[in-house]
Structure 1
Amino acid sequence: MTATFPTDISGEALHKDIRISEFGAQKALGILQSSGKENAGVRVFIKSGGCSGYQYGMAIDDRELEGDTIVVDRGVKLLVDRMSIDLLRGCEVDFVENMMGGGFTVNNPNATSSCGCGHSFRTDGAQSPDGEGSGGCGSH
């Protein structure tokens, strides 16, 4: 069963499993509109790997899968699979720009340590899953 959470009149999620910043929403809406996919959203997921144990992933997705948590925040549909939601609960998707370019990032209150590159993280001091993620930032 897919879980969908209501939004208030401004489109901000009332249930805060995951949310998106104002700037992140502006960037995501532009990308979603140009994707050509009707009713598409941003799928945010976790996979094993990276230098700290887990790695973030994002993709444009027009499918709602069994067990997905779906949150509409600031007009952006965020989709999270059932395996990733516990590690992403309370997170905020943001877009950052710096001298090296720009991109989406995840501000994760569940991460107890993260890689210097910001693409991978570990929770509660646990070892990397399956012994992965010990090779430094170049191992993504």
Structure 2
Amino acid sequence: MTQVVTITEAAAFQIKDMMKEHGNENVFLRVGVKGGGCSGLSYGMGFEEEKGDKDLEYEQHGIKILIDDESKPILQDVKIDFKQSMMGGGFTIDNPNAIANCGCGSSFRTATEAGKPEEC
């Protein structure tokens, strides 16, 4: 199985905590990309109960990960981490494919995929 996204140990720990809060630790973590944001593309992460026909599935740190066909090339070699600071914590996404990010950091574009930017 091909690994597309790398999840750090810190991010995996946080995701597993969120799965417990969700009430189901046997769900899939879906990681994807959709059109939107200032730069054209934005990330999405959430839990799903079922795998789709065109989903890539693999496991990391005991987490079952799903990535759809359209998101796969954009997310190749992405690293998801979780950082804690005095202001709280949050996930960080390091995408070597992104060539431009918006000022707020919530959207991006790649050399081959511009997405559909929204008004900021």
What is the number of equivalent residue pairs in this alignment?
Answer: 120
Listed one character per residue, the Cα deviations across residues 89-136 of structure 1 (whole Å, up to 9, x for unaligned) are 11112112334432223211111111232211111186x434x24x4x
CA shift digits 1:28-87 (9 cap, x unpaired): 011112212252121111110101110111111121111111121111122111111111
Tell me if structure 2 keeps the 8 A contact 1:96–1:103: yes
The structure richer in strand per residue is 2
Distance in 1, matches of 2:103 and 2:59, equals 30
Between the aligned partners of 2:112 and 2:70, the Cα distance in structure 1 is 19
- 2:115 is aligned to 129
SS at match of 2:17: helix
SS in 2 for 1:33: helix
Confirm or deny that 1:117 pairs with 2:100.
no
Q: Do structure 1's residue 26 and structure 2's residue 13 form an aligned pair? A: yes
Separation in 2 of the partners of 1:58 and 1:17?
Answer: 14
2:64 to 54, 57, 77: 77
Structure 2 distance, partners of 1:16, 1:93, is 13
Aligned to 1:129, the other structure's residue is in SS state coil
Q: In structure 2, list runs of 5 or more residues that go unmatched.
A: none
Once superposed, what is the RMSD of the aligned Cα atoms? 1.9
- TM-score normalised by length of structure 2: 0.86
Q: Counterpart of 2:44 in structure 1: which amino acid?
A: G
Is 1:42 matched with 2:42? no
Higher relative contact order (CA 8 A, sep 6+): 2
Q: 1:125 to 1:86 in 2, by over 3 A?
A: closer
Q: Contact 1:69 / 1:80 at 8 angstroms: preserved in 2?
A: yes
SS in 1 for 2:3: coil
Say if 1:38 and 1:101 are closer, same or farther in 2 by CA, change over 3 A.
closer
